[in-house]
Amino acid sequence: MINLEPPKKAGALVNQAYQAAAEVFRPISRKYDRAEHAYPSELDMFAALLDGLNGSGEGGAGASGVRRGDDDGKSNGNRNGGNLSTVLGTIEMCWGDVALLLSMPRQGLGNAAIASVANDEQLERFAGLWAAMAITEPGCGSDSAAITATAELDGDEYVLNGEKIFVTAGQRADAVVVWASLDRSKGRAAIKSFVVEKGTPGFEVVRLEHKLGIRASDTAVLRFENCRVPKENLLGTPEIDTKKGFAGVMQTFDNTRPLVAAMAIGVARAALEETARILAEAGVTVDYDKPANSQHAAAAAYLQLEADYEAAYLLTLESAWMADNRKPNSLHASMAKAKAGRSVVDITLRCVELAGTLGYTEDLLLEKWSRDAKILDIFEGTQQIQQLIVARKLLGKASAELK
Ligand SMILES: Cc1cc2nc3c(=O)[nH]c(=O)nc-3n(C[C@H](O)[C@H](O)[C@H](O)COP(=O)(O)OP(=O)(O)OC[C@H]3O[C@@H](n4cnc5c(N)ncnc54)[C@H](O)[C@@H]3O)c2cc1C
């Protein structure tokens, strides 16, 4: 029988994440939305709690929980591991506030990238580091194969040059995982990721962006000018294998896309719960035993939004579960990200509408959630790019065949 409930063993983690979201994130949500670029110092205590959870071997409490552990090949059982717990914890925390989750020390997308591709020595060396992720450049976003930043080997160091834009936590993080090419004539196979720590000469934070949503999260422009990093800071293998193409760095997305989908689900659930409360106060109840077309129009609309939410939620859990069980999940990670990204935008905007004038005011967080939602359909691959990946996978086409 199919069991669609989250695993019992994740219960304690989910509970803790929910409590923290309700007691730490929600009360300061509006404050840091207004105080764009101010660091939410309340997060320090909370980050220490997450570190404790990770250190106690609970795993999956933060971005580094997405590592796929060693498999001896003997285990045939169903595995509910770090990817699933991380997704479940992320949903809860983003129910509290997605921008604050993105501001959490040591929980950056760079941490997920390190967890995904670092070797054991690197994992140990970079433990405790807060890492942002820098892929996007002024001339390259969706098409990450067009990266122009370079990394040239000189003795025992790589020399990095280039500019990165829209880097989440780019100012606050201790380090950045930077995508750069070892040899631009060799195309995408030459793109590797490098850990660059703050304070490294030649690494500069140029400016911060002002944004529509997720204002509590800092978004930075970074410049690398003859920035030298030890050659051991290259994540994965330095070999350029043109047969494998993008495989090394792209592996990160299989783990991070379910996480971004989870962020979308957390925000969508927050908006749905608030709207259900407002509708109930207005005397509109949603009846799950009656067809939608025989109910109040607002209740019927609500049922439709919930159906989208459920579909996104199940796809996201499935893609994380596949990662835990070592099943190739690129297709499912993109399906989850596409469905969750689109749904959170639809759901939050429709909730603003269903709540009437109240939905548009700053008295509630509904308007904020509708602003925060859009980025979840953009970063880690836009809606259109996820659909393109899904189409390629289903049709068996290479990226050169279907653009
Ligand atoms: C707040 C914020 C935070 C971010 N954080 C990070 C971060 O931490 N690290 C990082 O590296 N980047 C980050 N980004 C950048 C983000 O990942 C990119 O904005 C995104 O990948 C899209 O790239 P682009 O903006 O260059 O748009 P483009 O690639 O120029 O795309 C523009 C439009 O065209 C569409 N499009 C492009 N190619 C195709 C195609 N082949 N078929 C159909 N449609 C297509 C896109 O979907 C999009 O709608 C962030 C962006 C924002 C706004």
Does position 54 have pLDDT exceeding 90, yes or no? no
Task: Clarify whether residues 211 and 312 are in a common domain.
Answer: no
Using most ligand atoms within 8 A of CB, pick from 379, 386, 392 the residue to mutate for ligand 1: 379
The confidence band for 72, taking pLDDT boundaries of 50, 70 and 90, is very low
**Ligand 1 proximity of 382 Cβ (cutoff 6 Å):** yes
Domain boundary (90, 109, 124) is at 124
For the four alpha carbons of 291, 292, 297 and 300, in that order, the dihedral sign comes to positive
For the four alpha carbons of 272, 274, 279 and 280, in that order, the dihedral sign comes to positive
Amino acid found at 18: Y
Task: Clarify whether residues 182 and 265 are in a common domain.
Answer: no
Distance, CA of 82 to CA of 273 (rounded, Å): 27
Q: Give the length of the chain.
A: 403
Task: Clarify whether residues 220 and 337 are in a common domain.
Answer: no
Is 274 annotated as catalytic? no
- Asked if residue 331 belongs to a domain, the reply is yes
Task: Clarify whether residues 13 and 50 are in a common domain.
Answer: yes
Distance 136 CA to ligand 1 centre (A): 8
What is the percent of the chain with per-residue pLDDT over 70, rounded to a whole number? Answer: 91
Do 168 and 175 contact (CB within 8 A), yes or no? no
What are the backbone dihedrals phi and psi of residue 80, each rounded to the nearest 5 degrees, phi first? -110, 95
What's the domain count of the chain?
Answer: 3
Distance 359 CA to ligand 1 centre (A): 29
- Asked if residue 19 belongs to a domain, the reply is yes
Question: pLDDT tens-digit profile of 76-125?
Answer: 567 778 889 999 999 999 999 999 999 999 888 899 889 888 899 999 99
| Residue 186: CATH number of its domain | 2.40.110.10
| Residue 293: CATH number of its domain | 1.20.140.10
**Ligand 1 proximity of 388 Cβ (cutoff 6 Å):** yes
Q: Which of 145, 334, 134 is nearest to 245 (CA)?
A: 145
Residue ranges making up the domain that contains 337: 247-395
Closest approach atom of ligand 1 to CA 142: 29
What is the percent of the chain with per-residue pLDDT over 90, rounded to a whole number? Answer: 76
- Asked if residue 282 belongs to a domain, the reply is yes
Question: pLDDT tens-digit profile of 120-178?
Answer: 999 999 999 999 999 999 999 999 889 999 999 999 999 999 999 999 999 999 999 99
Task: Clarify whether residues 254 and 388 are in a common domain.
Answer: yes
Residue nearest (by alpha carbon) to ligand 1 atom 2: 166
Distance 143 CA to ligand 1 centre (A): 8
49-58, 282-291, 335-344, 363-372: least confident range: 49-58
Domain boundary (172, 205, 235) is at 235
- Asked if residue 1 belongs to a domain, the reply is no
Task: Clarify whether residues 133 and 191 are in a common domain.
Answer: yes
Distance, CA of 169 to CA of 175 (rounded, Å): 10
- Asked if residue 3 belongs to a domain, the reply is no
Question: pLDDT tens-digit profile of 238-266?
Answer: 998 877 666 666 778 898 999 999 999 99
Question: pLDDT tens-digit profile of 21-39?
Answer: 999 999 999 999 999 999 9
Mean of all residue pLDDT scores within the chain? 91
pTM of the model: 0.94
For helices 366-373 and 26-34, angle between their N-to-C axes, nearest 10 degrees: 70
For the four alpha carbons of 395, 396, 401 and 402, in that order, the dihedral sign comes to positive
